[in-house]
């Protein structure tokens, strides 16, 4: 299987859009450190769907730390005559690992995804 587990920080704000009747998708770029402080990071696009997408868009912001469990998804397209390919993670679970960002003046409590769904 192509299951992955990643921990990183949001490199972008969460972008959410409607993709059909009662269907939502949220996407964000996740920066995952390579383990060595001098080695930099890898950047992975993550998709969250439906209720999970809504929670990510509401509670996450750039710089916050998250854990993502999901599956790899690759797709290809033509761009100016060249074949392009991208690999992204379609999340099954997004765990919020850090509190609100420093820019958050609302005082909103950031809660784990599962707690938000079950609680």
Report the CATH number at residue 57.
2.40.50.140
Which one is predicted more confidently, 32 or 106? 32
Number of domains in the chain: 1
- Residue 97 pLDDT > 90: yes
Range of the domain at 61: 3-118
Q: pTM (2 decimals)?
A: 0.76
Q: What mean pLDDT do residues 71-81 have?
A: 92
Model pLDDT for residues 39-68, shown as the tens digit of each residue: 889 999 999 999 999 999 999 999 999 999
Which tokens go with 15? 């972008």
Measured at the CA of 68, the angle between CA 64 and CA 69, to 5 degrees, comes to 170
Q: Residue 7: count other Cβ atoms within 10 Å of its Cβ.
A: 13
Query: Pick the residue with more confidence: 107 or 86?
Result: 86
The long-range contacts involving 106-112, CB below 8 angstroms and separated by at least 24 positions, are 108/59, 110/59, 110/60, 110/64, 111/59
Share of the chain above pLDDT 70, in %: 82
């Amino acid at each position: 299987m192509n299951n992955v587990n990643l921990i990183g920080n949001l490199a972008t704000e969460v972008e959410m859009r409607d993709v059909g009747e009662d269907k939502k998708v949220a996407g964000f770029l996740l920066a995952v450190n390579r383990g060595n402080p001098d080695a930099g990071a890898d950047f992975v696009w993550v998709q969250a769907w439906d209720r999970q997408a809504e929670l990510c868009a509401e509670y996450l912001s750039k710089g916050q730390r998250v854990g993502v469990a999901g599956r790899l998804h690759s797709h290809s397209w033509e761009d100016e005559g060249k074949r392009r390919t991208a690999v992204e993670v379609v999340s099954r679970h997004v765990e919020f690992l850090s509190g609100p960002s420093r820019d958050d003046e609302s005082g909103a409590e950031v809660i784990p995804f599962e707690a938000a769904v079950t609680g």
